[in-house]
Amino acid sequence: MNKNLIVMAVLGISLLGNQLIVAADQSTSGSTVLTREFRAFKEALACARTKDFSQCSRPQKKRVIIAGIALVVVLAGTYGGYRGVSSYLGKRRTEREVREKAEREKTERKGEDLRKSTLVKSGSFYNLVRAVEEGRLDDVKLLVEAGGLDVDQSRGNLEDSLLYYAIRLGKDEIAQYLISKGADVRADSDFERTALHLVRDGKTASMLIDKGADVNALDGRGNTPLSLAVSRTGTSEFRLALPVVNELLVGGANPDLGREDEQLAPLHLAARARNLQVTQWLLNKGAKVDILSDKGGGDKVTPLDIAVQNNAVAVAKVLIEKGAAVDREDARGATLFSRARSKEMKELIGDALTERKEALSQSLPPHLPVDMRGEIGLQFLEKSKRKGKPVASSSKRARERYRARRKPDATAARK
C-alpha cells in the first residue's frame, strides 16, 4: 500500500479522535481545535519520520501510537465486516442454487416420467429401434419389460433381428441385455450372417456361445465367425478381435474352417495379419500347419507361403517349429528361399532347409548304396515317409528300385 495513503489515513483518524476529546474538555471553537490538533499531529508525524522515535516528546509519541492503534482497529473491523458480508452473501447464493437445482431436477423428472409414459403407451417397435440406435439402454429395458415388445421382431424390410442390429452398431451393453432376455442368437440376417459373425466384444461373444450360437456357422460367402474375427486382427480393430478369437476357440470353433470366398483357413489369415499370438492359439487348438488353400489360378498355398510373402518372420518361425514344409515350390517353381523378401527370412528358411537335410541324411538306412546318399536318397526317404511305406530293408531291393528309375533315362539316351 502507498506510504502517503497510510499517513493520510492515520492523520484523519487521529484528528477525529483528538477533536472529540478536546471539544469535550474545552470551550474553544471546533475550527481552532482542528487547526491546533492538525498542527500537533503533523509535528509528531514529522518527528517520527525524521528522527529517532525515542527523541520525540511524550505527547507526540502518544498521538502517533493512538493513531496507529486506531488504524489497526479500523482495518481489522473493515476486513471482518467484509468476510462476514461475503459469507452471508455466499450462503444465500448457495441456498438459492440448491433450490434452483432441486426445482430443475423436479421439472426434468416430471418431463422424463411423461416421456417414458408416452413411450410405453405408444408400444411402437420403431421407438425400440431408435433406442438401440442411440444406445439408450434404459429405454430399451422400459420398452421390453413395460411395453412388452418382442426382442426377436425383425427390423423393417431388412429382416435384421434387433440383436444383430445392436451388435452391428457396436451397442454391446444393449446386445448383452437382449441376450439375457432370450433373443434368438442363431437368427441370421443379410448375407445369412448371424450375430456371432459380427461380434466385436469378448463378453458378448461368450454370452452368444453360452446361449447356443453356432461357432462354425457359414454366412452367404462361406465365412465362419472365427475366420472373420481372425481377419480383423490385422486391422485397427485387433485389440477388440483378440478376445473374440479366444472365446471362439474356447467355444469349440474349427481352426481349419475358414473363408471360402478367399479359400483361406484361419491359419492363413493369421499369417496374413502377421499375428503371432493368434497363430499360436490356432496351432495349439490343432490347426493343420500345412493346410492348402486355393489362392487363385490353381496356386495352392500354405500358411508358411503367406508368412514368407508378408515377411512375417516371427510367424514363419513358429510354423517351421511346428513342422511346416520348407522345401515347397509354387506353381512357377519358385522355392520359399527365393521368395523370401528379407535377410532374416532367408536365414530362417536356409537354416531350416539345412537342418532338415541333415536330419534326413542321418535317418537314411546304412544299407543304401553310396550313389543314393545324395539328393536322390533324401527324396526317396521323404516320399517313403509321406506315403507311409517302410524304407527298403536290403541293399539289393534298393539297387533294383534305383536301376528301375534310371533305366528309362539310359534307354532314351542310347536312342
Distances (CA, A) of 128 to 140, 168, 347: 6, 16, 60
Is 231 contained in some domain? yes
List pLDDT tens digits, range 162-196: 888 888 888 999 999 999 888 888 877 767 788 89
pLDDT of 27 > 50? The answer is: no
- What's the confidence (pLDDT) of residue 66? 73
Q: Give yes or no: residues 356 and 368 share one domain.
A: no
pTM: 0.61
Q: Give yes or no: residues 35 and 146 share one domain.
A: no
Count of domains for the chain: 4
Q: Give yes or no: residues 320 and 395 share one domain.
A: no
Which residues, in sequence order, are CB contacts of 345 under 8 Å at separation 6+? 308, 311, 313, 316
pLDDT of 96 > 90? The answer is: no
pLDDT of 410 > 50? The answer is: no
Q: Which of 117, 140, 159 is the last residue of a domain?
A: 117
Q: Give yes or no: residues 341 and 368 share one domain.
A: no
Q: Give yes or no: residues 352 and 268 share one domain.
A: yes
Q: Using an 8 Å Cβ cutoff, are 157 and 189 in contact?
A: no
Q: Give yes or no: residues 331 and 300 share one domain.
A: yes
Is 35 contained in some domain? yes
Instruction: Identify the residue whose cell numbers are 496374413.
Output: 272
Q: Which of 202, 221, 248 is the last residue of a domain?
A: 248
pLDDT band at 406 (very low <50, low <70, confident <90, very high): low
Could you tell me the CATH number of the domain that includes residue 307? 1.25.40.20
Q: Give yes or no: residues 373 and 327 share one domain.
A: no
Q: Give yes or no: residues 331 and 351 share one domain.
A: yes
**Percent of the chain whose predicted confidence (pLDDT) is above 70:** 65
Distances (CA, A) of 222 to 97, 212, 214, 252: 63, 20, 14, 18
pLDDT band at 249 (very low <50, low <70, confident <90, very high): very high
Is 198 contained in some domain? yes
Higher pLDDT, 60 or 13: 60
**Cα Rg of the chain, angstroms:** 47
Q: Which of 325, 341, 363 is the last residue of a domain?
A: 363
pLDDT of 157 > 60? The answer is: no
Q: Give yes or no: residues 7 and 81 share one domain.
A: yes
- What's the confidence (pLDDT) of residue 147? 66
- What's the confidence (pLDDT) of residue 143? 80
Q: Give yes or no: residues 369 and 290 share one domain.
A: no
Q: Give yes or no: residues 113 and 26 share one domain.
A: yes
Is 82 contained in some domain? yes
* DSSP letter, residue 392: P
Is 387 contained in some domain? yes
Is 256 contained in some domain? no
Q: What is the average pLDDT value for the chain, to the nearest integer?
A: 75
Largest CA distance in the chain: 162
Domain with 352, as residue range(s), is: 262-363
Q: Give yes or no: residues 331 and 230 share one domain.
A: no
pLDDT of 213 > 50? The answer is: yes
List pLDDT tens digits, range 264-318: 889 999 999 999 999 999 999 999 998 888 655 557 889 999 999 899 999 999 9
- Helix 125-133, helix 137-145: angle, nearest 10: 160
Mapped onto helix, strand or coil, the DSSP state of residue 413 is: helix
